[in-house]
Structure formats: structure tokens, C-alpha cells
Structure 1
């Protein structure tokens, strides 16, 4: 376009007059006078095609906007210039060179805007790039390279160290540390072995795996994440509806201002100024910046959130989160780990030689090693985590409601609850009463009928929960906990975490009523739960947050899904909501303020004092206004949404 625009400008009579030379009227060189109209027509038809076609689409869709205003501007310049060139209108109405510059500038601005949009979506599209170009399918014992799209459920693939998993599957051979950051947002790798599930796009960091494919194509977790983000970006919100209405009103405002400008300048006997001012008003008032103010911010915000393991299903939920003043946590599996853990050990003195805590735990783990009870698994896991040497046991037996028995180094070791103590008429440990008041499970360890120690088992509080509660307090939010557990258990957890309010003994079906109770007090409530038992409460809350969803992105009752089980991620949503709102507000004020100031200048209100805004400058300013909005939205990319970073910023600013 620029190559065509140069001769249009150079051989335009009006431009020649401005710079001090005349294009000949007669002779061979006189034919050059028609170069500007001919090439200018090419500029209008070819260069202006995106705007003319876009304007026509806006008319058909009954949503007039930017494209129609630009189409009107270049059409007015085109008709006026041809009228002048054919001698039908005043020679001063020859605007071929302005038309050429206008089209070039508008195309350049449009290209930069589209590039900004492309940058916004490219990071999301890069999720698809996590998939490998080829998969190694096992056929007759040999690894054969195939396209991931050729895989079917049931295929076996080889995933080499450092390679990506080509589709969702289950490990059937091998173990490796797997990088799941694209799902959970956590940078630390996770150990996965036989029987564990892996998802497409994750990376086997240190060892090879054989994986049986369980889902392909649109059924994979990665495809689900992409769809969630895409749906969130296309969904509506209050801010978007306001921006859409403002854009529509701005079109009619610009059109009205252009008509008034044309009439006023014509009445004072300056038809050339009437055309120039009208075109400048139409160009400079294009509501493109206003139209991009919200979508650009939302696109970047949802993409950044997805990379941090925060999946926004509903834009309205993201918009509302900044106003939340009460966060209601389900206890089990949210603030706690959701499974029993050995939290304390008491050694009972006086039963022969006093044993160390590690020895008591080792004896219990040895006796429980062959049991399938969840408490047995907790004891065995604790022994492994503590690095305890577990002796070999024999003659294992178990008795329901009593406990287990095994022979270890010639001694009879028993582990059980109150009935085991009753059977041996043995006293309980000193800490038992206090532990029981806290709602803990107590198991005693007996050697040859004498109590040598006791284990406290409870649903362990997540180490991140205290930070989450403290950070929520720092931003002025009330923290509430809801649980089906007894009051003693609930108050023990609440006391340790510093929770403001507790609802204990609540049946899952009644949790929604407790959310309503808080809302009835004028609270804006965010409910944080597992998305299954808490579904009614998540739906009732102002913002429903499903936590610890991992690869399950199909939770229907939540507006926001947290792939990880870190309760601090709730702060990530709050910060993202507030940052998104700030950017939306900044963009809307910029776009609206720009139009309120620029339209009067374009109309020529300062012409009496010698200031006139050239048509080309108007086009440049319109493009700059849109680019400013795009660049401002891009600043959201600097926001670190990882929980530890967000909590650190909250404490540093409180």
C-alpha cells in the first residue's frame, strides 16, 4: 500500500500546491494529473477493503462501530476527490493524498491491533504446543513413531525421559518425576508410577514410562483446559456489557458530531474544511479502543490464570471475586489433607525399658503392615516419612473393632483402640483425654499386654492453610470454616489456624443454607470446596471455587477451578480479580476520555485560535489510542499468580 500511496501523494495537485510545485495541466506530463485518482481508487478499493467489508458486516449485524466509521470517512474522501478531479466540485475538495495517507495509517494501525490480539491468544494457543509432534507407539514390542492424532484409546506408548506424554493415559510400566505445571501451576515435579494417571502435555523428567492411552483429542485434560479458557474469554460480564453499550452510543455520538461539523463548516462558507473536519471526526472517534478495553484484559487474565493452575469458567465469578468479604472453606480436603495422619506419639514409661518414639512407631508399623485399614496405611506411611526402621513381623491377625496382633522379635505386639485396652485391663496414655477432646483418633501400642505408647491420628492440617488464612485476614476478609465433623474437632482446627467463625456438624445438603445465612448478613461469599459434596453450596455462593480438582476440569457448579490443593490459591483469584478490574477501569477511562477530548479538536473548535487537527494526525491518534489500550492490558502478563508469590505480596503491603 505504501508503494502505491507515494505516487498518489506526489502527483496530487493539492499536495503539489502545498509543497510549492505544480503538476502540468497539458501535454504528456498532464496525464500525470490522473495518476492520483487512478491509484487513489486502487487504494480505496484494495486498501480500504477490510474497512468497507467490515462496515457492511456491521450494518448487516445491526451493530455499527469502528469499521463503519472508517468506511464512511474514506468513502467521503473518495467521492469528494473524484468530484473535484472531474470538475464537478471545488478543486479544494481534492483529497487524494489525504485519502492515501489515511488508508496507509489505518491499515498500519489495524495491523498493530491485530498483532496485539494475536499476542494475547498466542500464549493460550501454546498450550497445544505442549503436545509432542510424534508419539512412540508400541507395536509388536517395537516403538514406532506415529502422529498423536493417530492414537486410539488402549494403545501403548513409550514416553522417553524429557519427552511429553502424547495423550491422557495410565502408567503400566516404569516411574518418573513428572512435570505437571501446565495443569497445576506448581513448578515442582511429582513422582508417578504404575497405576497412576498422566495427562497429555506433561513431561517425564528423569525416566522413561510406558503409558496406556485412556483419552484422546477433545477428551483430554489439555483440551478441557483450552475449552474452559476459551469459554471464559467469550462469556459476558457486567463490565463487558457496559463497554458494549458505550461503544454503540459512541458510534452515534461520532456520527452526530460529524454531521454537525459538516453543517457548521459549510454554513460559514468553508466546504473544504467541512469535508476535512468531518472525515477527521469520523476517524478519530472510532470506538475500537473502547471495544478492546475489556476483551483484551479478560483474554490475558484468563490465560495467565490457566498457566498458574487457576481455571476461570465464568467471567462473572472473576469479576465478583474482588468484592468478596467472606471466604467459606470446607474443612476436609481443603484446609486439611482429607486423610488420617500420625500427628503425635506418646511413649508410656514404666512398661519395662522406656522406648523412643521412633521405636513405638516402628512396632506399630510392623504390626499394621499387612492390614488394609486406612489407619494402618497412615501408620506405615508415617514410619516411612520419619525414616523409622520397621522390624519384620509374623503371625499377623486382626480383630474388628479391637485391633491387630503380630509377633515381632519373639514379642506379641498389638495395636488398637479402647476395646484392646479393655481386653488387657490396661490404662490409656496420659495424653489420650486431651487428644480425644480435639477429636483425634487414638491407637495404643501394647507389647506382651503392656502399653508402651499411643499414637494420635487426625486429618492433618495442610501446611499452607495458615498462610492462606493470615493472608485473607490481611486483605480484610472474614474466614469461615464449615464441616460435618463434631464441634470439638472443628474448633481444634479453627483455633490452630485462627479462623473467625465455624459451622460444625453440618450435613452436605445443608451447606448451601449456611452460605445463604452469610449472604443474609450482607456478606459477599466465596465458597471453597471439593466440587462434589459441596456442589449446592458452590452454586449458592457469590463465587464457587472448586479446589484440588487436578485433571477434573468438568466441575459444573464452580465458577473457578483450582487444579492444585493449595488453599493459598484463593488469594491468587482475589489478586487476579482486582488487577483485572484495575486494567478494565484504566482502559475504559482512557478510551472514553480520549474520545471526549479528541472529537471536539477534530471538529475544529480551536480553529479560531489557529489550531487545526490534520486528517492524517487524527488517524494516527486513533491508532495510538487503541495501541495504548492493548499495551496496558499486556502489563497483566507481569502478574505472578503462584500462591507463594501472591501471599508474599499481600504481607508486604499490609
Structure 2
């Protein structure tokens, strides 16, 4: 990493560093071990019925479709239920004597079955083709049996007890509500791969080899061998080699190196990186799919496509219940027929098949997910992928990107070493005066440090900046210079002894000279977030191993790790190797959550079991992660774990309530207690069905009491006994 302090020599371009805050904001030594995200969980195995609506890409359409369908079906369900003879007899109210009244429920019920039931019927066909019975097949079976039995009862072919129009309407409305809630929770934002492409500039300035004129072209028009100009604050349009000029290049979005790297003639530069201070000329060496950025895009796509997709809990339960209901129906038909009561066999069998689809099962998971994601958002946690939230409870290792995640991603002054008779305050004030006209990130850090101490900073004049050395200005009649090793060498001066320890910590070292004499030195480093230590400690209490990964040098990484109490560090890791480090942890048996905030960690976030993006990070990270932390507080990871565990408990409880209704009511409806004179009436089954739905809905509401603010989550965890840790580890935590 470079220790040089370089500033723009083009005042007219001084603003360029700020024109693109996502580009130049990490300037010279400025930051981002940028992450990118855990799959956009491309393709949570949706219900089969969703395939007919365009698959994963159409989740946004699904929300609108299910919302419209729900409200239309709800309007139709009111008269269907209200004018159902069976429903009226259950509640004990009379219906008008007019002949047309008897046809309201059959006609509108048929519309509901064909129109409102279509998503479930097409989904059932998909599940049958895949030979994987699940929720869709169970719903389709229930509404189809209810539809056919109801028509049989309406036409006088079957017993009047089989008038299930009201039950058909309730099933369709409640299942549509559940799927509307589910689709809303699964709606995805823009693709991570599209965000990666957005890193390239819209235009490139190519030099015409014959005339030397500058021609503006699209990056896609560049070919190998072209010569382009990259101006201060501009992005390199394609991979190439610098032929003229020297600039500090912010490669953080590609390499993860938090310090900008000096690039001069003969040095390679990568597409998407930013020349922070001066213009350079670049000879293009790779374009299109051959660039490093395209390579990262391929890695992300491969990791996303290879990610195993978890089977939904509700679908699993529905699959079991389908075979349970089918088996119970067959046994019921056979048993009642053998008993010489074929009419009862038909009634009991149809009742079993209708009851087999509990309303509660359709709401058990979507309700929990909807409430959990709402609570998460209020706590600064945005859940894009339900499977990521479910997986977080099983995570055994959290891999933190260093820069911008555990640290602020901005340099701050950490040490000042004065040379007698000068004081620390005097050295800092002189440096701030010389740097006051610079827009460089290190200059801003020095000025902010002086302001923070309330120092009186003298006015400076005759400001000059040299990309190879640093800056100089006249302050109170003395020429004050601030810069790195090149500046010391030009003045024939030696670095202060105090700086050797700083160098071992990986700090940026600048010396301050007055009239050519060294008066002091400054150390600058990426500031560690004050919340990071609490986050690390709390994770260890939960028995989760904390690992740090960074593109920075070993010295920088170990210094941060030591301060935070992190035992395991991967330093100097390039993007393609970061994914391999995640895989290495997974090979050790860990379920890994990756936390980061930029582009270069994209493959690692996609490889991880759960990708978590810091909301202050790049669009790519936000688009590709399963969970997004709206704040940049690392303690929010605790909120995600707590939410995952709480919502999983609610999901299990709701599934047991929903499935428990089936386990009890189906055998009773089949007549298992008929030998002792008890056969469950249809009305009782309906009441139990409604009660199970109410219990599931109320139980899910308790999630609203969960406080997911980062500080509350972390402190609540720290008050507990350590989980899954050795006594030594527990003591260390």
C-alpha cells in the first residue's frame, strides 16, 4: 500500500472527487473491502403455481395479481357464503324463499373456483408434473372436491350436507390472502448483475491515433490497443496499462484494498476503478467479457446459480398432509363401504378431503414472514429474501468485511508525534493549515482532527500540491509541507523513530516540515466503529465464530483484529479468493454469514449461506444480498439472528397448530370414533378450522413485541450465558 500523500494539481477538477461519492468517496487511501451479496436468492423454490406467472422474475407482478384477485374474490365470497344453505343452517338464520336464491352460491362459487382457484389449480399441475406434492396440490384437491360435491348437493345428486359452497369461498379467499402476503414478502429489487454493469462509465474519451483528437465513445466500442484519457474522478472504462501520467487509483470496489494505489506508466488499471486526483492515459488491454469486472460478474452468477435452495417448511408440511389426507380418505371410503353404508362413505370421504386443507396452514408461514419483515424494517433490517432470514438462525460463523463494516471506511488522525520544542497541538494546527485548501480525504481527516480539538488553525497561502509528494503552503511566513517518504527524500530528512511502530500497524504516515525541517509526524488509519467490539462480543456469547476478511495488508488487518478481539483473520485477499475463503469455512462445517458493503466481495456474499449488506454500501451489495442493514451498525447482525430465531419459533408453533388441526380433525371426520357413537359434524369441523386460523394469526402478532434496535439486541445477548463455547472462550468473551 502506498504511504504517499497525493493531491490534485488541477483546482478546476477539485470538485471531481465529490461528483461521484460512490466512486471517489474512498479516494487515495480511502476504503472499501466492498462486499456484494448473497444470491439475490435467485429463485426461492416458489409454489408451482407461480411458474405460470413468469417465475422468479415476476414476483413484482405476483404481488399485484394476488392483491387484485384477493379483493375481487372477497367481494364474491360475501354473497356465496351468505346465501349458502349449509352455512345458514350452521348459524341458524333463514334464507329468502325465492327460487333464484338457491343459485347464487353455485353460480358465483363456480366463478370463484375457475377464476380465484386458477393459481392453485395450475400450481397443482406443476407439482404433479414434478412429482412433488405440496401446498398447491393440497389446496387444489380441497377446492376441487368442495366444488364437485357442492354442485352434487345443489343438483340433489349428493346429500345436502355436502353443500360446501361457503367452505370453497373461504378456502379460496384465505389462501389468496396468504399468497398475496407471501409474494409481497418475496418481491425482489434490481439484479446484482445489472448493478455491476453500472460501475462502468457511460462514456470513454478515446484518442484518435491519426489526429490525436479526443473522441467520446461508449465503452463497448473500445478495442484492445485503444488509448483513452481518464480524468480526475473518472472511471477507467476497460482494463489497460497506464502510458502517461501518475494518479492514485481507488481500486476498493475491485480489490478491497482500503488505500488508493499509485499507478504510473507501465502499471495496470482495472475497469470500474477511479482515478482520484490527476488525469492518466491508458492503453486498453482487455474489453468486454475479458475484463476483471466481467470476471467478478461471472463468479457472482455462478455462485447464485449453484446455491442450494431450501425447501419451504409449509410446503414440506403440506406434502406430508397431502399423503395423510389421501390415505385417510381412501381408508374412510373403504371402511364405510365395508360397513354397508355407501352413502356415509361418500359424505365422510368428501368431508375428509375438504377438511384436509386447513386455512391456517396457508397463513402459518406468510403471516410470520410479513410481520417479521415489518418488525425488521423498523429495526433497520431489510429482509429481501425469506430463505436468508430463515437460514440466519443456523449460522455458526460470521465473516465481516473490514473496511466500511467493522471500520468507518474513512481515515482519521490516530497519533501525533511532535519534535521539540513543538507541541502536538502546534504540529496538528500547522498540518491543518497547509491542508485546508485540499479536497483530499487525508486532508479532510487532518482538518477535522484540528477542528475536533478546537485548535486555532492559522491562514495559509501559496498552496501547492504535488501528486508525487504531498502539499505545501506558506503559514505565518514559514513554508509548511505535509507528505510522505518522497517529500522527506527530497528534503534530505529522515522519518521520526516514533513512526516505525505506526508502520507496523499499517497506518498512513505523513511528516510535517516547516522551512525544510521536520517538526512532527501524523499517523492516520481507518477508524474502527465503536459498536464493532460490542457486536463481536455478543456474537461470541451466541457461540458464533467471528472472522474478518479484508483486501488490506496483514499488518492493518491484525491491528484491527487485535483491538476488536477477533481471533481469525483473512488478510490481503482478492475478490476471487474471498469466495474461496467462505467455501473454506463451509468445508469446516460452518454455516457462514458474510457481512460487507461494496462490490468486490460479491462472489463471497453469493457463496455464503447468508449475504448481509451494509445499507451504506454500494447498489450492487444491496441488490444481491438476502438481508440489508439500513444502518452501518455491525450490531444489527445480532438483530438479524434474534429475528431469525424468533420467527422460526413462531413458524414452528404455527405449523404445529395448523397441522395439529388436521391430525385431530381428519380422523374424527373420517369417523374413527364412530364405534363409540361419535362422528364429528361438518359444523364442528368448520369451527375448529376457524379457530386454528385465529390461533395462528394471533400467535404471529407476538413478533411485533420484539425490539430489534441494534443496541437492545446486542445488550440483551451480552446478558446471557454463552452458548456452545468452551470455558476458555466464554471467559474471553
Measured against the shorter chain, the TM-score band is 0.5 to 0.7
1:42 counterpart = 2:104: yes
- Corresponding residue for residue 310 of structure 2: 238
What displacement does 1:70 show? 4.2
What is the distance in 1 between the residues matched to 2:85 and 2:443?
A: 87
What is the distance in 1 between the residues matched to 2:390 and 2:555?
A: 37
1:622 counterpart = 2:689: yes
1:584 counterpart = 2:661: no
What displacement does 1:556 show? 6.0
CA contact (8 A) 2:325 2:352 kept: yes
CA contact (8 A) 1:340 1:457 kept: yes
Pick one of 382, 392, 411 that aligns with 2:459: 392
| 1:547-558 mapped onto 2 (5 Å cutoff) | 547-550=614-617, 552=619, 558=625
- Corresponding residue for residue 553 of structure 2: 486
- Corresponding residue for residue 438 of structure 2: 371
Please list the CA deviations of residues 104-127 of structure 1 after superposition, one character each: whole Å capped at 9, or x if unmatched.
4664676566667777888999x9
What is the distance in 1 between the residues matched to 2:80 and 2:604?
A: 64
- Corresponding residue for residue 254 of structure 1: 325
Distance change (3 Å), C-alpha of 1:550 and 1:372: closer
Please list the CA deviations of residues 331-386 of structure 1 after superposition, one character each: whole Å capped at 9, or x if unmatched.
2222222232112223433x2xx53x444322211111223443222212322344
- Corresponding residue for residue 397 of structure 2: 326
1:509 counterpart = 2:576: yes
CA contact (8 A) 2:635 2:714 kept: yes
Aligned length in residues: 516
Distance change (3 Å), C-alpha of 1:325 and 1:57: closer
More displaced stretch, 548-557 vs 593-602: 548-557
Secondary structure of the equivalent of 2:555? helix
- Corresponding residue for residue 410 of structure 2: 339
RMSD between superposed Cα atoms in Å = 4.1
Secondary structure of the equivalent of 2:480? strand
Distance change (3 Å), C-alpha of 1:542 and 1:551: closer
What is the distance in 2 between the residues matched to 1:421 and 1:55?
A: 79
Secondary structure of the equivalent of 2:329? helix
| 1:17-36 mapped onto 2 (5 Å cutoff) | 35=97
Larger Rg computed on CA atoms = 1
Please list the CA deviations of residues 128-164 of structure 1 after superposition, one character each: whole Å capped at 9, or x if unmatched.
xxxxxxxxxxxxxxxxxxxxxxxxxxxxxxxxxxxxx
What displacement does 1:259 show? 4.6
What is the distance in 1 between the residues matched to 2:494 and 2:530?
A: 34
What is the distance in 2 between the residues matched to 1:6 and 1:272?
A: 26
- Corresponding residue for residue 644 of structure 1: 711
- Corresponding residue for residue 456 of structure 1: 523
What is the distance in 1 between the residues matched to 2:81 and 2:410?
A: 73
1:65 counterpart = 2:138: yes
What displacement does 1:411 show? 3.5
What is the distance in 1 between the residues matched to 2:672 and 2:546?
A: 56
CA contact (8 A) 1:262 1:277 kept: yes
Q: TM-score, normalised by structure 2?
A: 0.61
Distance change (3 Å), C-alpha of 1:10 and 1:79: closer
1:408 counterpart = 2:481: no
Pick one of 535, 557, 562 that aligns with 1:468: 535
What displacement does 1:301 show? 3.6
Bigger RCO of structures 1 and 2 (CA < 8 A, at least 6 apart)? 2
What is the distance in 2 between the residues matched to 1:340 and 1:15?
A: 72
- Corresponding residue for residue 539 of structure 1: 606
What is the distance in 2 between the residues matched to 1:621 and 1:611?
A: 16
- Corresponding residue for residue 280 of structure 1: 351
- Corresponding residue for residue 369 of structure 2: 298
What displacement does 1:460 show? 1.3
Please list the CA deviations of residues 387-430 of structure 1 after superposition, one character each: whole Å capped at 9, or x if unmatched.
33221112333455544333222334333344555666667556
Please list the CA deviations of residues 536-585 of structure 1 after superposition, one character each: whole Å capped at 9, or x if unmatched.
22233333333345572675654434343332232233233323332332
What is the distance in 2 between the residues matched to 1:466 and 1:333?
A: 15
What is the distance in 2 between the residues matched to 1:474 and 1:7?
A: 58
Distance change (3 Å), C-alpha of 1:563 and 1:589: same
Please list the CA deviations of residues 37-94 of structure 1 after superposition, one character each: whole Å capped at 9, or x if unmatched.
864443333356534655676556525333542452464365357548xxxx9xxx55
- Corresponding residue for residue 380 of structure 1: 447
Where does the alignment leave 5 or more consecutive residues of structure 2 unmatched? 1-77, 126-135, 190-303, 722-733
| 1:11-22 mapped onto 2 (5 Å cutoff) | none
- Corresponding residue for residue 58 of structure 2: none
